[in-house]
Amino acid sequence: MAALPQQPIVPARQAVARLRSLWQRWFLWVLLALLVMVLLGTVVWLAGRHEADQVQAALDRDTSDAVAELRGGLQRNAQSLNALMTDTRGRVRWPEDEATALLRAHREWVRLEWRDPQLQLRAAADSPYRVRLFDEATREASRSDIALACAAASKLGGAAYSPSHYVPVGSGTGVEVMEICLPSEAGDYLIASYAMRETLIELVGPSLRRGQEVAFAEPDGTRLATVGAPRRGGNRIFTSQQLIDLPGVTLMLRVDGWRAEPDLFPNLLTGLVTGVSIALISVLILLARDTRRRLRAERELADTLAFRKAMEDSVITGLRARDLQGRITYANPAFCAMVGFSLDELIGRPDAPYWPTELVHEYQQRQTLRLAGGMPPREGFESVYMRKNGTRFPVLIFEAPLLNAQRVQTGWMSAFIDVSEQRRVEELSRASQERLQASARLATVGEMASLLSHELTQPLAAIASYATGSLNLLDGEPDGAPAELAMALRRIGEQAERAGQVIRSVHDFVRRRDRTREAVSPRALIDAVLPLVQLQARKLGVRIDIVLERDLPQVLCDRTLVEQVLLNLARNAMQAMDVAGIDERVLLIRAARGGGSNSSSVDSAGEARRWLEFSVADIGSGISDEVAKRLFTPFFTTRSDGMGLGLSLCRTVVEQHGGALLFEPNRPRGTIFRFTLLAAVPTAPLPLVTESTSP
For ligand ADP, the binding residues in 576-605 under the rule CB under 6 A are 576
Question: Distance (Å, rounded) from C-alpha 470 to C-alpha 486?
Answer: 9
CB-wise, 470 or 572, nearer to ligand ADP? 572
Using CB under 6 A, pick the residue from 34, 311, 488, 627 that binds ligand ADP: 627
Query: From residue 528 to residue 567, what is the string marking binding to ligand ADP with x (rule CB under 6 A)?
Result: ----------------------------------------
For CA atoms 521, 523, 524, 529, the dihedral sign is positive
Query: From residue 659 to residue 678, what is the string marking binding to ligand ADP with x (rule CB under 6 A)?
Result: ------------x-------
CB-wise, 204 or 649, nearer to ligand ADP? 649
- Indicate whether 493 belongs to the interface with ligand ADP (CB under 6 A): no
- The distance of closest approach from Cβ of residue 565 to ligand ADP in the complex, given in angstroms and rounded to an integer, is 11
Cβ atoms of 263 and 280 closer than 8 Å: no
- Indicate whether 352 belongs to the interface with ligand ADP (CB under 6 A): no
- Indicate whether 647 belongs to the interface with ligand ADP (CB under 6 A): yes
Span near ligand ADP by CB under 6 A; candidates 92-100, 318-326, 378-386, 571-579: 571-579
Using CB under 6 A, pick the residue from 176, 198, 508, 618 that binds ligand ADP: 618
543 CB-side CA count, 13 A = 11
Give the CA distances from residue 153 to residues 81, 156, 157, 249, 623, in Å, rounded to whole numbers and listed in that order. 14, 5, 6, 11, 155
- Indicate whether 572 belongs to the interface with ligand ADP (CB under 6 A): yes
State the DSSP code for 679.
B
Cβ atoms of 315 and 332 closer than 8 Å: yes
- The distance of closest approach from Cβ of residue 435 to ligand ADP in the complex, given in angstroms and rounded to an integer, is 15
Return the exposure string of 562-581: e unless at least 16 CB atoms fall within 10 Å of the residue's CB, then b.
Answer: bbbbbbbbbbbbbbbbeeee
- The distance of closest approach from Cβ of residue 434 to ligand ADP in the complex, given in angstroms and rounded to an integer, is 15
Span near ligand ADP by CB under 6 A; candidates 126-134, 315-323, 326-334, 620-628: 620-628
Give the CA distances from residue 108 to residues 38, 211, 228, 392, 442, in Å, rounded to whole numbers and listed in that order. 54, 23, 16, 125, 156
- The distance of closest approach from Cβ of residue 508 to ligand ADP in the complex, given in angstroms and rounded to an integer, is 21
Cβ atoms of 541 and 695 closer than 8 Å: yes
The closest alpha carbon to 552, from 391, 679, 386, belongs to 679
Using CB under 6 A, pick the residue from 356, 631, 655, 682 that binds ligand ADP: 631
Burial of 304 (0-12, 13-18, 19+ CB in 10 A): exposed
Q: Contacts with ligand ADP: how many residues (CB under 6 A)?
A: 20
Cβ atoms of 505 and 449 closer than 8 Å: no
Residue type, 95: P
In the 3-class helix/strand/coil scheme, how is 54-123 assigned residue by residue?
Answer: HHHHHHHHHHHHHHHHHHHHHHHHHHHHHHHHECCCCCECCCHHHHHHHHHHCCCEEEEEEECCCCCEEE
Using CB under 6 A, pick the residue from 364, 501, 521, 637 that binds ligand ADP: 637
Question: Distance (Å, rounded) from C-alpha 201 to C-alpha 196?
Answer: 9
Give the angle subtended at the CA of 552 by the CAs of 682 and 648, to the nearest 5°. Answer: 90
CB-wise, 62 or 618, nearer to ligand ADP? 618
CB-wise, 597 or 648, nearer to ligand ADP? 648
CB-wise, 240 or 671, nearer to ligand ADP? 671
Residue type, 116: D
- The distance of closest approach from Cβ of residue 532 to ligand ADP in the complex, given in angstroms and rounded to an integer, is 15
CB-wise, 291 or 638, nearer to ligand ADP? 638
- The distance of closest approach from Cβ of residue 625 to ligand ADP in the complex, given in angstroms and rounded to an integer, is 13
List of long-range contacts for 274-281, beta carbons under 8 Å, 24+ apart: 274/44, 277/40, 277/43, 277/44, 280/36, 280/40, 281/33, 281/36, 281/37, 281/40
Across the beta sheet with 671-678, what order do the strands follow?
Answer: 661-665, 671-678, 611-617, 585-593, 542-549, 688-693
CB-wise, 266 or 634, nearer to ligand ADP? 634
- Indicate whether 646 belongs to the interface with ligand ADP (CB under 6 A): yes
Cβ atoms of 347 and 336 closer than 8 Å: no
Question: Distance (Å, rounded) from C-alpha 465 to C-alpha 462?
Answer: 5
- Indicate whether 639 belongs to the interface with ligand ADP (CB under 6 A): yes
Span near ligand ADP by CB under 6 A; candidates 12-20, 48-56, 217-225, 631-639: 631-639
- The distance of closest approach from Cβ of residue 639 to ligand ADP in the complex, given in angstroms and rounded to an integer, is 4
For ligand ADP, the binding residues in 287-346 under the rule CB under 6 A are none
CB-wise, 187 or 642, nearer to ligand ADP? 642
CB-wise, 26 or 632, nearer to ligand ADP? 632
Cβ atoms of 183 and 157 closer than 8 Å: yes
- The distance of closest approach from Cβ of residue 667 to ligand ADP in the complex, given in angstroms and rounded to an integer, is 14
- Indicate whether 620 belongs to the interface with ligand ADP (CB under 6 A): yes
CB-wise, 447 or 664, nearer to ligand ADP? 664
Using CB under 6 A, pick the residue from 556, 573, 661, 680 that binds ligand ADP: 573
672 CB-side CA count, 13 A = 14
- The distance of closest approach from Cβ of residue 567 to ligand ADP in the complex, given in angstroms and rounded to an integer, is 11
Cβ atoms of 639 and 558 closer than 8 Å: no
Span near ligand ADP by CB under 6 A; candidates 38-46, 220-228, 438-446, 616-624: 616-624
- Indicate whether 621 belongs to the interface with ligand ADP (CB under 6 A): yes
- The distance of closest approach from Cβ of residue 509 to ligand ADP in the complex, given in angstroms and rounded to an integer, is 16
CB-wise, 603 or 626, nearer to ligand ADP? 626
Strand-pairing partners, residue 661, are: 675
Question: Distance (Å, rounded) from C-alpha 135 to C-alpha 130?
Answer: 14
CB-wise, 7 or 640, nearer to ligand ADP? 640
- Indicate whether 77 belongs to the interface with ligand ADP (CB under 6 A): no
Which residues, at least 6 apart from 214, have a Cβ–Cβ distance to it below 8 Å? 66, 200, 204, 208, 226, 227, 228, 253, 254, 255, 256
Span near ligand ADP by CB under 6 A; candidates 100-108, 551-559, 590-598, 636-644: 636-644
Give the CA distances from residue 99 to residues 103, 115, 125, 192, 557, in Å, rounded to whole numbers and listed in that order. 6, 14, 7, 10, 181
For ligand ADP, the binding residues in 198-237 under the rule CB under 6 A are none
Burial of 650 (0-12, 13-18, 19+ CB in 10 A): buried
- Indicate whether 628 belongs to the interface with ligand ADP (CB under 6 A): no
My answer on whether omega of the bond before 394 falls inside 30° of 0, hence cis, is no
Question: Distance (Å, rounded) from C-alpha 179 to C-alpha 108?
Answer: 11
Using CB under 6 A, pick the residue from 264, 279, 628, 643 that binds ligand ADP: 643
Span near ligand ADP by CB under 6 A; candidates 66-74, 269-277, 505-513, 569-577: 569-577
Span near ligand ADP by CB under 6 A; candidates 111-119, 139-147, 273-281, 641-649: 641-649
Using CB under 6 A, pick the residue from 328, 548, 557, 623 that binds ligand ADP: 623
Put residue 424 in one of left, alpha, beta given phi > 0 → left and psi -120 to 50 → alpha. Answer: alpha
CB-wise, 224 or 574, nearer to ligand ADP? 574
**Where do contacts with ligand ADP occur on this chain (CB under 6 A)?**
572-573, 576, 618, 620-621, 623, 627, 631, 636-639, 642-644, 646-648, 671
